[in-house]
Amino acid sequence: MEVDILTIFPGMFPGVMSESILGRAQSKGILTVRVHDIRDFALGKHRIVDDYPFGGGPGMVMKPEPIAAAIEHALLCRESDAGGESRVLLTTPAGRPFTQGLAREYAACEHLVILCGHYEGIDERVGTLVTDEVSVGDYVLTGGEIPAMVIVDATARLLPGALGDEASAAEDSFWEGLLDYPHYTRPRQWRSLEVPDVLISGDHERIRRWRREQSLERTRRRRPDLLEHAELTEEDLKTLRNLAP
């Protein structure tokens, strides 16, 4: 997968993109990340990327010329000839909520271009070059750089070969619409707290049932809204009915 990130703060990305799973995925050739400074595409010696909004009002609006030039440049940077369209994402509070399902959708793409929004937003006319508007939550951040990092991280870890254990992604929270079950490691006792006996029983079927029940219980208590769209089996429904109110 190739990812081109368009930003006015390129210095925010090197550390995040070079560490952990993202760094390993790039070293393996599974992921390519290129970061472009939108100011490089601005007109004039001062490389201005924003201006006052028509009609008045507070704040500034990102100008269309440098953004359009940056997007068109990023589309030309694509090296893969595997086919499929390039998706141009705009990070914005007004966008489609970013979910694990959307991360899976993006992981199937060959090329993503992520435009980091700023100020009061971008000139509406640039929207003709954008295929996806994406929000990482119902709150306002200083800019779209952190959402871009979230999108790349959540998407890249789903690429084949990105994780040391491919089963890890399939057991993550939200994979089947539920929160993850609790995890334990050594020591068996810590500050008088014990690891549940079932996890050291060696009975794989009991462990599977316990983990599924814990996942269902945690979701029911913390995020009951997720149960409306989760992929539930008859066994899951029976478990939920038997859980204490």
- Homologous superfamily (CATH) of 2-156 is SPOUT methyltransferase, trefoil knot domain (3.40.1280.10)
pLDDT at 166 over 70: no
119 neighbors 150 (Cβ within 8 angstroms): no
Mark whether 172 is an active-site residue: yes
Helix (H) or strand (E) holding 68: helix 64-77
Condensed to tens digits (0 to 9), the pLDDT of residues 109-142 reads 999 999 999 888 999 999 999 999 999 999 989 9
pLDDT at 19 over 70: yes
Mark whether 120 is an active-site residue: yes
pLDDT band with cut points at 50, 70 and 90 for residue 168: low
Backbone φ and ψ for 64, nearest 5 degrees, come out as: -75, -35
Burial class (CB in 10 A: 0-12, 13-18, 19+), 189: exposed
From 110, 123, 172, 213, active-site residue:
172
pLDDT at residue 164, rounded to an integer = 72
From 10, 53, 64, 93, active-site residue:
93
Average pLDDT for 6-21 = 97
From 65, 105, 120, 180, active-site residue:
120
- Beta bridge partners, 194, equal 189
The least confident of 42-46, 172-176, 208-212 is 172-176
pLDDT at residue 174, rounded to an integer = 63
Q: Is the dihedral of CA 7, 61, 124, 153 positive or negative?
A: positive
Structural domain spans, the chain: 2-156, 171-242
Condensed to tens digits (0 to 9), the pLDDT of residues 170-188 reads 555 566 789 999 999 999 9
DSSP class of residue 121 equals -
DSSP class of residue 85 equals P
pLDDT at residue 44, rounded to an integer = 87
pLDDT at residue 60, rounded to an integer = 94
pLDDT at residue 88, rounded to an integer = 98
Which fold would CATH assign to domain 171-242? Trp Operon Repressor; Chain A (1.10.1270)
